Structure 1
Amino acid sequence: MRRGLLNALLAVFVFVSFAALSIAQNQAAEEEDKKAFPCHSLPRENYTCAACLQFHDSCAWCSRVGFEDANQHPRCDSVERLRLHGCGDEHIEKPQTSMQITKDEPLANEGTEESDAVQLKPQEILVNIRPKAKVKFNVTYRQAIDYPVDLYFLMDFSFSMKDDKNMLSKLGDSFAARMRQITKNFRLGFGSFIDKTVMPFIDSRPEMQTCCRRKEGMPCMEWCAPPYGFKNQMSLTTNTERFSEEVKKAEIATNLDSPEGGFDAIMQVLSCNDVIGWRERARKMVVFSTDAGFHYAGDGRLAGLVEPNDGRCHLDARGYYNQSLDQDYPSFAQLHQKIRERKANLIFAVANKSMHLYEQLRDALPDISSSVGVLADDSSNIVELIEGEYRKISEKIIMVDNAGATQGLKLSYRSKCLGTRVNDTNVCDSIKVGDEVTFEVTLEATHCVDQRDFVLKIGPTGLDETFNINVHVMCDCDCAKEDIVRNSSNCNYKGDLVCGICTCSGTNVGRKCECDAQGQSSTAALDAKCKRTNESAICEGRGVCNCGECECNTRDNVFEKFSGTFCECDNFNCPRHDLKICAGHGSCDCGQCTCNAGWTGRACDCTESKDSCLSANGKVCNGHGDCICGRCRCRLEGEDSRYSGPKCEICPTCPTKCAEYQPCVMCQQFKTGPYDIAKCAACPFTVIPVKELPISNDTQKCNFVDPADGCTFYFLYHYNEMMNNMTVWVRDDKECPGPVPVLPIVLGVTGGIILLGVILLLLWKLLTFLHDRAEYAKFEKERAEAKWNTEENPIFKQATTTFQNPAFGKKQQ
C-alpha cells in the first residue's frame, strides 16, 4: 500500500516538474524572442511609423501598401527582416543617428585682452539622434596659461571685523601682487556688507546708529558709519593699487544680532554684471570674508519683510543696495541658481567658530566650485588663504551641463583624468596649467517630447567657456509628411493612407477603416473587445479581430479547430494517454475531456468497471481498499492500513489467530490457562482432540508452552469462509522436557574451574623458566666479552723518594 502511494507521489512530482520546466522554457523562449526581435513587441493600439521609430533604435518601418496583407509579417521590424520579407529600401523608414563637428578651434594656451584663451575642444557639434539611441564623443579640456581672473573681495564690515579690515588694507598690495604671479590677466574688486537696517537686525534708535559697542549695555567705544546692507566700494579693475585705498576708506558699522546679511551682498555682486564689471570669458571669483553666520530666506519676516528676493540688481548710483528694506534675504536655491548662471567660484574665508556652518553651506551648493578656509583672528593669513583656496578650485575640473533641465535627453561622463584607468566620473583633480584631460561623453535620447531641437551646453563649473551640442531628435517619419493619400481606396474611402496604413476619419476604425466604431473611440477600443483580459493577446493570438469580434484561424489539420468567443478553445490540446487524446475514450472540449460512458478520469483513462479489482474471496480489493480507475487503492486508515498488494491481500504485520485461540484450547483440553468455567463455555468453538494433527495447506498450526507445567502443546485451526465456522484440532498429549542432571552439571563446572587453574599455573611456570634462561645467557655473554687490565693506578705514589747528589763521585781539579 505504502509503495503504491510513494509511486503515485513520485509520478505527480515528475509531472509537475516537467510542467514547470516546460513553462520556464516557454518563458525563456519568449524572452529570447523579445531580445532578438524587440520591434515585435510594439503595441497594436499605437501601431504607427513614429511609434515604431520611438520604440527601439533597431526598429524600421515598411511603408509599402499591402505589406502585411501579402505576407502576414509586421511592418515594424529590423531592416534585414523587412528586406527578407520583400520590403524594398525605397519603402523602409529608418533614420540614422549621426554626429558632425561644426566648430573645432585649436586649444589656445594664453589669453590676452584682445583674444580669449580656448580651453575646450571641440566647441560645437551637431547631433541627429533617434529615440533610445546613444552617441559618444570626446571633449578635451586644457587649463590655459594666464587665463583671465576677476576676483571680487566681499567683506563683513561689522565692528567685530575691525582688526581684519585694518589688516586687509595693509596686505592689499601684497595680495594683488600674489595673484598676478598666478595670472597676469587679473582684475580686482571690493565690496562690504553689514545687515538690513531695521529692527531686530540693528538698533534703530538714531543715537545708536553710529555707536559701535562691544557688548550690549556698554558705552560707545567709538563712532562708526551708519549701517547698510551692501555697498560696492570698488568695481573690478586692473588698477589693483586702488584696493588698499578703498579698503582703508571704507568705514566700520554696527548691528545687533550675530548673523549678517551676506546673502544679500552675494546676490547683488552676481546680479549686477555691468556695475561690478564681470567679463564673460574669465574665471569669476568671489572671496567672502566674515566671522559670523548668515541670514537666509524667511529671516526677513522678523522685520516684516515678506516679499521674496527677486534675484535682480538693485544698486543705486553710490553703489548701495536700495532694496534692503523691501525684500527678504535670498534662499539657498536662489543663491545656487545665480552662482550657476554667473558661473562663479566662491571662497569662504571665515573664522574658525563659523567653519562648520560654511562647510554645510558649501555642501548645500552642488556642482559649484567653492571652498572654505579658516581666517586668522586679524586676517593676517588672508593672502595665503586665498591663494591656496584659489589653487584648489582651479585645479579641480567638474564638467556640468544643462541636460537636467531638458526632457528626453541624458548625458553621462567617463574619463581617465591624469591616470590610466577609465572611471565613470565628471570630476578630475590636481589639474595643473598645461594638463590635458579628455572626457568621453555619452548622449542618450531616452524618449520623445513635443520639442525636437535642443541646445545642450557642457563646460567646467566656474567658467563661462562651454561646448555646445545642437541636438535634433528624430521622432517622426518622412512618409508621414509626404505621399499622404487622402480618402484612399485602400481605406474604403473612409480615411487617409499614411506610411502604408490607414488613418481613419470620423467614427470609422479598423485596419482598412472597414468598421463603424459604434460609440468606440478607436480601433484599439474595438481590439480590446477581442481580448479576454487586458493582458491577453487579441483573440488569444489564434485569430484576427474583425470589428470587435474574433475570427479564429484555421489549422492545416482539418480535424483540429479553434473555437470560443476569443478563440480560447480548441479540440486538440487535451490530456493524452498512450499518445491518444482523452485515451481514445472521449472527446476534447476546450482543453477538457468529455468521457464516454464507462470511462472517467482527467484523460478518460479510468474504467468504471470493478472486475479487475476482485480478490480470490470475491470481495473488491479484499475488503481493505477501493477500486479506482480499475486498480485497487488500499486504505490508509485503521486496520486496513496494514494491507498492500495489487488487491490489498498482503498483510505481513497481521497477527494469526493462534494467540486468540490459545486460552480456549488450554481450558477445554487441559483445564489450565487464564479462563474460568464461564469464559471457557463462551468460546466460539469446541476443540477436537487427536493423536496427530492433520496436514493441510488451508490450516494454521500453533504451539505454546503451558506455564503450569512447562510442557508444549500443539493445535491446528481452519476457518471455512463458505460455512462461516471454525474447526480446531488439538493434540491430546503435551511434550514435556526431561529432568535436569544437576550433579553432573555441578561436577563438570567444578572440574573445569580446577583444570583451568592448573593450566594457568603451568603456563606461568613455563614463562618464568624461559625468562630466567634468557637472562643467564645474556650474563654469560657479557662476562666472556669483558677485558681486565693490570696497569698501575696513575695517582699512586711510593712512600720513599731517592735523591742523587750531583757532586758525589767526581774528581777534584
Structure 2
Amino acid sequence: MCLKFLLFLLCTKICIVFCETGCSDFETCGSCIGYAFDRCVWCSAKEHEGSRCKSRIKADESKLWCKGTSIYDPETENNVTLNKDFNAGEKGEPVIQFRPQYLNIKARPGIPVKISMSYKPAKDYPLDVYYLMDYSHTMTKHAETLKNQGFNIYNELIKLTNNVRLGVGSFVEKNSLPYVDDTQQNSYSFKNHLSLTDNMNEFAEALKEKPNGSNYDDPEATLDGLMQAMVCKKEVGWRDNARRIIVLSTDSTYHSAGDGKFVGAVRPHDMKCYVVNNTYQMELELDYPSVGQINKVAAENNIMIIFSADKKVEQHYKTLETKVLGSKYVPLKVDSTLVNVIKTEYLSLIRKVYLDFKIPSFMQLTLDQDCSRDNECELKHNQSVELTGTLTITSCPPKNNYKHNVEIGPRMLNEKLKIEVDIYCQCDCEKPGSGIENSDMCNNAGTYQCGICNCDSDRYGSTCQCNGISTDDEDQCKKNNQTLPCSGRGTCSCGKCDPCLSGFSGPYCEYDDTACPSPEGLLCADHGICKYGQCQCSPSWIGEDCRCPINNESCKAPYSKEVCSGNGECSCGKCECKVCSGQFCDDCEEVAMKRCKELEDFAYCNFNENKKECDLKFNQTNTEVTLVNKTEINSPDWYMAKYWCRKVLEDENIFVFKYYYSTSSNSKLHLIIQNELEKPPIANVWIAVGSVIGAVLLIGLITLIAWKILVDLHDKREYDKFANESAAAGFDTSINPLYESPATTFQNPAYNG
C-alpha cells in the first residue's frame, strides 16, 4: 500500500509540473477544486476572461490572472473534537487505551492529511476466554485433557490479570439424517454450558460434563457452534471492553457452506444469534456458515480463535488458520502448548498493537509509523507509542455525498478513532441560495454562481445566450455523423464548436494541433505553429515542417558572400557539396587558405582591439573570439580548427590564428588567435659562406680522388699490354734484362777441399 501511495504522490507531483491543461479543462468550481492530481484554484471574478480554473502554482506566478479576493482555494482543516486521556478503568470510568477518539477533517482530493494517534495498554485489562469443545463421542479420550487444560488456562491467566472470565460451550452436529440418528436426540450444533464468569467453581463444574454426542460422518458442526459463540454476545456474556479469545477443541474436520442442503438447511447463514435457553434453534433451517463469514465476524467482533485440534486433522486447521485473521493452531494432546499459546497471545494483544481501518474506496490511508512492519508496533510494559498516518482523498465521492466516516484502531480492541471527513468537491458559491437568479450576466435566463452561469432548462451557452436544450443543435457540431459533438474536444455552443480544447482547432475541433511534423522533436521545427493539422510557417521559413529557410543565408559561412563557398548547392538551408566537404563545403586546403584571407583582417582587429569594436567595425554579430598563447593554440582542445592561417605584417612579423564553425543551427564563427606574433627568420652570412667554401673543397677533393683512381687504372692497363706483347716476342717476362744482381762470388785459393 505504501508503494501505491508513493506512486500516487509521484504522479501528483509530475502532473503539477506538466499537466496544467488538467486544471484548465474544468468548467465548474466544484470539479475544479475536486481535481485530485493538482491543486487547482477557481476565479469567480465577474470581469475574468478565459479559463477560471488554474493550477495554484501557475496562479501564484501570474499575479494578474485573477483578483486575489475572488480566488477560491479551500484550506485543509484537521480538528480533534474528542481526546480523552488514557485510563485503566480507575473509579469505575471506561478504560481508554487509544486516543484521540474523534477527529473532524475537511480536505480536498489529492491533499494528504496527517493523523496523529497514541496507544497505551491498560493494566489488568479484562480478558474473556470461551472454551468451545467438540462433544462427539470420539472426544471422550480427550475429556481429561480438556478439563486439565481448562484449569491450567485459568491458573496461568490470573497470574497476568485479575480481570479474567471463562465460559464453556460445545457442539456436535446438525440433528438430522444423514449426519446423525435424529431419534437419539444427543446431537446439536451449539450449546452454551456456562456463560463467561469469574467463578472458578462454576467453571470447574462445567468441565466435568462428558462428551456423549454421536454422528455418522467425520465432519461436524464446528462452524455452526463457532458462529453462535461469536455472535451471541448477550448469551455468552462477552464484555464490550474485554479482549476476547475462543479456544476451539476438536478431533474432526468441519462442515461448511453448502453441506447443509443434505439436511434441508438451504437458507444461507445470516450471521445472527439464534440461541434460546442456551441452545441453537435454527440448525435445521440455516446452512453452515462459510469460512469467509467466520473470518468477517471474528474480525468485526475482535475475537481471536485458537484451534486446538487432534493431530489427524492438523492440515485442515492449519489451512483454516490462514483463512481466519488472527487465528492460531495448536495440537490437542496431553502435553499441549495451548496454555503457553494463550499466554503468549494475551501478552501479544497487550504489548503489540496492530492497526486496522475501514475507509471508502475513494480514500487512501497509509500508516507510516516506523516501529515495525504490517501496521504493527511492539510495546514494553506500561509504555505508550505514538502512531501517525496519512489520509488522502483520491477522487470526489459518488452521488455528491461529501461527508463520510472513517475508523482506525487496534485490532482485537473495540476502541477506535472515528474520523468525520468533509470533502471539498462543492464550492460555497455553488450551494443552494448562494447565486443570483435571473442575473443580467446570464441574459436573465440563469443563475449566476461562482462567476459562471447555471442556465435555466430551456437555455444554454456560457451566458445562457442560446435557446433550447444544448443537445438540440449538437448534430450541427458533428462532422460526418461523428458520435461526439466537436469531436469530443470542445464545447458545442449554439450549434458551433466554441471553444475547442487547448491543442485542437477546426470547425469541429477535428484537428490535433500537436500532430504536425516535428523534425528533431520540435513541432513545425519551432519555426511556425500547428493549425488545422498543418504547419503555418513563420516568415522566412518554408516547407511542410517549416524547417527550410526561404533564402540561402544559412548556407553562407560567416564573413563569406558565397553560397557553399562556391563548391556546392544550398538545399533546405544546408550545403550539398560538389567539391570539398564540410558544413560550408570549405573543408579542403585550397578553400581554407581562401577563407583565411577573408578572415585575416577581422581576426587581426580582434588581436589589437576588443571584440565589441571589431564586430561593430566589420558588421559581425555571430562570432566568438579566444586569445591563447603559443602552447595553448597547439593543444587538442582546438581539434575542431583544422587549418592554420598566417598573415605577414608590414614589419615582416607573422600574425597566426585558426577558425572553425559550430555545428549548431546558428553556425557561429569561432576564432582562436595566438596572442604573440611570430618573428621572421634571420639569415646567418657565415653559415652561407662556410657552406659555399666547404662545398668547393668537398667537390675538389672528390675530383682529385677520382682523377687519381682513373690514372692508376690507365697505368695498369698499359703495363698489362706491355707484358703481354713481351711474352709474345719470346722474352722471359719473369726476368728483367736490365737487372743486375748485387751479390758477387769469389774463390778462396787457400781452400783445399
Q: Which TM bucket (shorter chain)?
A: 0.5 to 0.7
- Taking the TM superposition and a 5 Å limit, the aligned residue runs for 1:396-407 are 396-403=352-359, 406-407=360-361
In 2, the alpha carbon distance for the partners of 1:184 and 1:591 equals: 86
Paired AA for residue 370 in structure 2: K
In 2, the alpha carbon distance for the partners of 1:413 and 1:601 equals: 53
2:23–2:40: 8 Å Cα contact kept in structure 1? no
1:145–1:434: 8 Å Cα contact kept in structure 2? yes
1:484 and 2:465 matched = no
2:70 to 91, 97, 120: 91
- Taking the TM superposition and a 5 Å limit, the aligned residue runs for 1:142-291 are 142-204=120-182, 206=183, 209=184, 226-291=186-251
In 1, the alpha carbon distance for the partners of 2:35 and 2:293 equals: 39
Report what 2:284 is aligned to. Answer: 325
In 1, the alpha carbon distance for the partners of 2:507 and 2:23 equals: 26
2:461 to 500, 506, 510: 510
In 2, the alpha carbon distance for the partners of 1:605 and 1:448 equals: 52
Give the direction of change, closer, same or farther, for the CA distance of 1:320–1:526 in structure 2 (3 Å limit): same
Paired AA for residue 377 in structure 2: C
In 1, the alpha carbon distance for the partners of 2:235 and 2:20 equals: 59
Structure 2: give runs of 5+ residues left out of the alignment: 1-11, 520-524, 538-542, 552-570, 578-753
1:349–1:385: 8 Å Cα contact kept in structure 2? no
1:72-102: per-residue Cα shift (whole Å, max 9, x none)?
4644442854981263443222211111112
Using the size of structure 2 for normalisation, the TM-score is: 0.61
Report what 2:304 is aligned to. Answer: 345
1:428 and 2:377 matched = yes
User: Structure 1 residue 313: deviation in Å?
Assistant: 1.1
Paired AA for residue 393 in structure 2: A
In 1, the alpha carbon distance for the partners of 2:199 and 2:385 equals: 34
In terms of mean alpha carbon deviation, does 505-514 or 265-274 score higher?
Answer: 505-514
In 1, the alpha carbon distance for the partners of 2:347 and 2:178 equals: 40
1:447 and 2:395 matched = yes
In 2, the alpha carbon distance for the partners of 1:602 and 1:92 equals: 41
2:94 to 116, 134, 138: 116
1:610-661: per-residue Cα shift (whole Å, max 9, x none)?
xxxxxxxxxxxxxxxxxx99x9x99xxxxxxxxxxxxxxxxxxxxxxxxxxx
2:408–2:418: 8 Å Cα contact kept in structure 1? yes
2:32 to 52, 70, 75: 52
Report what 1:699 is aligned to. Answer: none
In 2, the alpha carbon distance for the partners of 1:524 and 1:85 equals: 38
Equivalent position SS for 1:55: coil
In 1, the alpha carbon distance for the partners of 2:367 and 2:284 equals: 45
In 2, the alpha carbon distance for the partners of 1:190 and 1:447 equals: 49
1:329-382: per-residue Cα shift (whole Å, max 9, x none)?
0012221221122111111112223222222212212xx322221221x47654
User: Structure 1 residue 516: deviation in Å?
Assistant: 3.6
In 2, the alpha carbon distance for the partners of 1:40 and 1:363 equals: 48
Aligned residue pair count: 523
Paired AA for residue 353 in structure 1: K
In 1, the alpha carbon distance for the partners of 2:508 and 2:288 equals: 70
1:297 and 2:257 matched = yes
In 2, the alpha carbon distance for the partners of 1:197 and 1:469 equals: 47
In 1, the alpha carbon distance for the partners of 2:120 and 2:55 equals: 45
Report what 2:85 is aligned to. Answer: 106
Structure 1: give runs of 5+ residues left out of the alignment: 1-30, 210-224, 418-422, 539-543, 554-561, 594-598, 608-627, 635-813
User: Structure 1 residue 478: deviation in Å?
Assistant: 0.9
Paired AA for residue 229 in structure 2: V
1:370–1:393: 8 Å Cα contact kept in structure 2? no
1:73–1:85: 8 Å Cα contact kept in structure 2? no
- Taking the TM superposition and a 5 Å limit, the aligned residue runs for 1:357-506 are 357-365=316-324, 368-376=325-333, 378=334, 382-403=338-359, 406-417=360-371, 425-429=374-378, 431-449=379-397, 450-481=400-431, 482-506=433-457
Paired AA for residue 287 in structure 1: V
Paired AA for residue 446 in structure 1: T
In 1, the alpha carbon distance for the partners of 2:363 and 2:54 equals: 24
Paired AA for residue 84 in structure 1: K
Using the size of structure 1 for normalisation, the TM-score is: 0.57
Paired AA for residue 375 in structure 1: L
Give the direction of change, closer, same or farther, for the CA distance of 1:169–1:236 in structure 2 (3 Å limit): same
1:149-179: per-residue Cα shift (whole Å, max 9, x none)?
0111101111221132223334543431211
Report what 1:134 is aligned to. Answer: 112
Equivalent position SS for 2:318: helix
Report what 1:42 is aligned to. Answer: 23
In 1, the alpha carbon distance for the partners of 2:421 and 2:453 equals: 32
1:413–1:425: 8 Å Cα contact kept in structure 2? no
Paired AA for residue 128 in structure 2: D
Equivalent position SS for 1:181: coil
1:271-301: per-residue Cα shift (whole Å, max 9, x none)?
1111111111110111111121111100112
Report what 1:670 is aligned to. Answer: none
Equivalent position SS for 1:471: strand
Report the identity percentage. Answer: 29
Give the direction of change, closer, same or farther, for the CA distance of 1:117–1:84 in structure 2 (3 Å limit): same
RMSD between superposed Cα atoms in Å: 4.4
In 2, the alpha carbon distance for the partners of 1:74 and 1:524 equals: 28
1:520 and 2:468 matched = no
User: Structure 1 residue 521: deviation in Å?
Assistant: 6.1
1:285–1:347: 8 Å Cα contact kept in structure 2? yes
2:314 to 355, 361, 384: 355
In terms of mean alpha carbon deviation, does 142-151 or 502-511 score higher?
Answer: 502-511
